[in-house]
Copies of this chain bind each other. A is one copy, B any other.
Amino acid sequence: MAEMRKPIPVEEAINRIWKRRITGEIEHVSIRDCDNRRLAEDIVAKHPVPPFPKSPYDGFAFRSADTIEASRNNPVTFKVVEHIGAGQVPEKILHKGEATRIMTGAKIPDGADCVAMFEICQTYEEDNQSFMSIKRTMDSGQNIIGEGSEVAEGEELIEKGTIINPGIKAVLATFGYSQVKVAKKPVIGVIATGTELLDVGEELQPGKIRNSNAYMIESQIIRAGADYKYFGKLEDKFDSSYDMINEILNEVDILITTGGVSVGDFDLMPAIYEKLGADVLFNKVAMRPGSVTTVATNGEKILYGLSGNPSACYVGFELFVRPIVQHYLHNSHAFQRRVKAILGDDFPKPNPFTRFVRCYLLYENSRLYAKLAGIDKSNVVTSLAHTSGLMVLPGGTRGFKAGDEADVLLLDDQQGQPEFKTI
């Protein structure tokens, strides 16, 4: 039964999948529900910001020309003709010697061209009329935030595909997007294979382990911005498994199975791919962990057969699934941000194939360091808990030493980059 497989380089594997990428549909959500979704349209300023000239302070607005003669010994006096708060609209046009008491954010009255803060003004009342005097000259435009001084109408502000964060939500509110056009999330089906798997609520039994891969993958799916559907375990019987997968493909955009892709006697997935008529893009990759990864396509749908080893499964998702999800979400920076970091630990093992090593990131004096997240064997679940990056150690390299530089893929970063390679 042991089938011969030809491993292909990681970059080639990514390219073959990348050619099958599709962009997902668009949906509208309330601005209240748009957090962490990805924009499906460029955001352009619908009006100037601010939309009118406004005051940055609480104070008085008037004509700067009236202060030409003002000095410490020669205060100039203004009649206060109106009193407006932010949101109240000035109604009076100011003439020579007239001032408007104005609050932060309020519109500058017509006729006025400067604002003086309360702190530099003297106020008094006479015969129920307010007056204000000032002992210094003011310039035209002083303390006025001009219309459009932040953003001109039509300015391109945020690119399609960007993830919505608090600042972007503020921009959307500013321009009146009560409904936001976002990328629809792909639905990713998850199936676990393996008779050795117990469900999370079951007691341990001899020879069996609990299913951790399905939960891990679901969490990776959520982190990538997609939705999951868990279909339970696949039995180790061909016919029922084939029927199950055939039906599931109607309900999902992408299907992930974990386990069942090695060359063991009980692995059914290759036969199922064949009967589906799926186009197998590759079934072995020259990488560690995760060499026994199979990816196939069935129409527009991509079927991932990830390894049953937790770490191989984890790496397989981040390398091969996440960029496809990002493209589906209209994100033009679909790949993980790949940066240089200094190794904080020795990694003495040679790398016959490209190796992805789980790590976490430290900063010291503006330098980025990558430390090993734990024992790096493909079957170690626990080291994944502290993982926030994957070091990329190229195939053909010998061991690395602390202090060496290496590439790291950032897993928690939402900015990404347009290609897999170092940029």
Contact = CB atoms under 8 A, between A and B. Distances in A.
A8 interface: no
Contacts of A56: 379
Interface stretch (A21-29, A277-285, A339-347): A339-347
Interface stretch (A11-19, A62-70, A164-172, A237-245): A164-172
Interface in A180-210: 194-197, 200-210
A412 interface: yes
Interface stretch (A73-81, A98-106, A297-305): A98-106
Interface in A139-182: 145, 150-151, 157-158, 162, 164-178
A119 B31 CA distance: 58
A290 interface: no
A172 B215 contact: yes
Contacts of A41: none
Contacts of A89: 205-208
A263 interface: yes
Contacts of A201: 176, 178
Given A215-B173, A339-B363, A340-B366, A196 B380 contact: no
B308 A196 contact: no
Given A118-B2, A218-B32, A58 B197 contact: no
A219 B35 contact: yes
Interface in A27-48: 31-32, 35-36, 45, 47
Contacts of A385: 157-158, 162, 165, 167-168, 170-171
Query: At the interface, is chain A mostly helix, strand, loop or mixed?
Result: loop
A308 B167 contact: no
A35 B218 CA distance: 9
Contact of A170 (B47, B213, B222, B414): B213
B170 A310 contact: yes
A276 B386 CA distance: 45
A86 B196 contact: yes
Given A32-B218, A382-B151, A58 B262 contact: yes
A402 interface: no
Contacts of A90: 207
B194 A87 contact: yes
B200 A170 contact: no
A220 interface: yes
A341 B314 contact: no
Contacts of A107: 206-207
A368 interface: yes
A51 interface: yes
A262 B57 CA distance: 9
Contact of A212 (B171, B383, B384): B171
A52 interface: yes
Residue of A104, A107, A119, A195 ringed by the most chain B CB atoms within 10 A: A104
Given A88-B207, A215-B173, A222 B384 contact: no
A418 interface: no
Given A51-B204, A88-B195, A103-B264, A218 B169 contact: yes
A5 to B, nearest CB: 12
Contacts of A367: 366-368
Given A103-B264, A170-B384, A176-B201, 7 more contacts: A51-B209, A85-B236, A88-B207, A104-B262, A106-B207, A170-B215, A172-B200
8 contacts: A51-B204, A85-B236, A107-B206, A167-B386, A169-B218, A171-B384, A173-B216, A388-B415
5 tightest A-B CB contacts, nearest first: A87-B196, A167-B384, A87-B195, A166-B219, A170-B216
Interface of A: 2, 31-32, 35-36, 45, 47, 49-52, 56, 58, 83, 85-90, 101, 103-107, 118-119, 145, 150-151, 157-158, 162, 164-178, 194-197, 200-220, 222-223, 236, 262-266, 308, 310, 314, 337, 339-342, 363-368, 375, 377, 379-388, 405, 412-415
